[in-house]
Structure 1
Amino acid sequence: MASKRIFRKLVDADESELESLTEEARPNVPRNAIRQMAAQTLQSMGDQVVNAKTVLPWLVSALGAPGAFVAFLVPIRESGSMLPQAAWAPRVRSRRLRKWVWVAGAVGQATATAGLALVAATASGTLAGVGILAALAVFALARSLSSIASKDVLGRTVPKGQRGQIKGIAAMASAAVALTLGLSLRVWGGDDLGVGVLAALLGGAALVWACAAVVFSTIREPAGEVETPDADGAGWAAQARDLWRADAVFRRFVIARALLLVSALSPPFVVALAAQQGASGLSSLGLFVIAQGVAGLVGGRVFGRLADRSSRRLMIGASIASSVVIVAFLGALMAPFLGEAVWLAPATYLLLAFVHIGARLARKTYVVDIAEGDQRTQYVAVANTLMGVLLLAVGAVTAGLAAWGPEFALALLAVLGVAGAVVGRGLPEAGRK
């Protein structure tokens, strides 16, 4: 069977790991793993285009929208996909097959991305800025559905010890696409990338998400137990509060994950410092996409295996590594001649993007492995909702510090990274024994 051959070549699997799955799910592991890798790769390919740190800021500027719209891109993209998840969780747990929730989210992302393409092709100025933010809000809401369902389907269909590898391979495949895209933009677009090219890219990304929905729908997911949601859906807030108070492991994980934001929030400040120093080449869209592609291509496979061995230790290592990179960058800026080196900011951006791959794979694998059954859905939903709130809070603080200079925001993020490592040390192991 082709899926089994491909699976054996890509995944380091042990038959004993199948004990974590139901009897119904065990024969379909290779098939389901390949399909999840394919769907996640397609989703990640689309993410390279609908990127709130690279492509969308370029689009806002190219369409002549006020610069203030750029400041809202990342908060809407990240928090919008996290905040609704605790409210979604009871509805998701009422579904015997969770894969259809993911499919619905993928269709929503395809629709929103098509809306972005339409804005890029027809609008300009303030109207374009409003249209971009509105489409991005729809995109984020749809992404929250896929996010909450993906880990649950993964936990039902792929055993412990293999989940991190699945995500790592998908990240590596999407990184190869990102690298190709970035190089193409540098060769054919350069610094004069036109709006028409961006509109075409967004249209292509919409089709990619549609394909991802089709692929994910073919997963053979074992039907699970259902839970009847509250009639008014109001019980989720109390459940989230009770989970936070009663589950010490979950509480510590959320705190550690919040402190891991260092690798997600620091790259834009590195770019801002480079721009202040006149490194205009770093403003090229192609360079950003290339850096992300290289990081994912190298880090996806390596960090996927490390996440399966110990996602806890990988979280700790990612926190420390992010802080070390930031401190080294700040120190290099103050050094004679070195601070003016044209390669310094791009190299730092690349390292932070590389570390962020490990941080994401670690915390995603950890939350899937630490919980079982419907508890996993609740963990993911409540954690992401709390993270949406914390992201806005940390973002507001770093934005305030950035008013005095990006260096101050980076210094705070470096401190948070060290704190994240300390908190992570108190988490129990959850991966392959």
Structure 2
Amino acid sequence: MKPKTSSAVDEASFSAVKAGIAEFVAGQGERYADQIERDGRVPEELRADLYERGYFGLCAPKEYGGQAIPFDRYLELMELFSMSHGSIRMIVHVANGVWRAIDRFATAEQRRRFVVPAVTGDLRVAFALTEPTAGTGADLRSTVTRVGDDYLLTGEKHLITFGVACDYWLLFARMAGSEGKEGTIALMVDRHTPGVTVTEMPPTMGVRGTDHAHLVFDNAPVPVANRLGEEGRGLEVAFGGFLTPSRISVAMSCVGLARRAHELAVDHALGRETFGRKLAERQAVRFMIAENATDLEATRQLVLHAARHWQSGGPDAEALSSMAKLHAVDALTRVTDRSLQIHGGIGYWASSPIERVYRDARAQRFEEGTNEIQKTVIARAELGRRK
């Protein structure tokens, strides 16, 4: 019986963790951000720092070495991390989510080999679902054929976050000759498996420093012992174990990034003077600030509603996670655009903090599925309810 996180939290301990994260984001986090933007790489000392601070196992059970912070309260911390550089947020987001997908179907031995080291930060796991020649989900083209105690894996993956510098890929494929979700399979694939070609993809517009991999598998052998769950249940591992809560976490990431943009805009409006008046005294600017604040609070509450629904095992969790992600991305787009407008021309220069925020925000439009994917999930749930 796997341990579960408690729905309660010690408020004094939680407040201390929250205060520590806020201090890190405002201080050392910004110094790391400058270094990442300058070098185009996430420094190893950043990962070591996050590890030492215990930020890789915030919501995992204490039995696994985590802090057992309930998911909805963990999102309060994710909002803070998301006010920092996109790559810092990405490291924390992946580390605090991928263990859950493995754990859901793991055997006791797999929990010892994969889950606990992922929680403690001793094992880096990348989520490998997206393919260059297929859509996300049951359209998987990567295939496996069982030969004795191994699966031989053939296919391609791309846009795999941290797929270059990881230890394992949590990878999804299908049994050769199968169709639909019933043929899918989830595997833990060693980064150094023979028959695998790893190519680092070109730099991105935003979230600089996070590596993304293009992977090619040519009859790469993967032990059957590394399969999570039964054959045919791969998408259950992907969606229920990772994507549903991950979409909620990404939605809260949008809140944090929007909050950072909003605060920068407010500070600029209070300090910038034109024609003898502060920008904050001008009605057009005040209206944009009001709209930003409203977008922020409405989105935050929808995200927390989705989180609590998922946490309690509610039947609408998948649809609500997509609603939260869809709404959050659109709100982030509006807030960052207004915030940049309040800055005027100077906000477009790389010397202005809002410029990095604006670039990082665009990545949220496709992380964990595009808006169009979210609408498909929501519409399916709504139409299914009517039927």
Higher helix share: 1
Bucket of the pairwise TM-score, normalised by the shorter protein = 0.3 to 0.5
Give the TM-score, by structure 1 length: 0.31
TM-score when normalising by structure 2: 0.34
More strand by share: 2
Greater RCO (Cα-Cα under 8 Å, separation 6 or more): 1
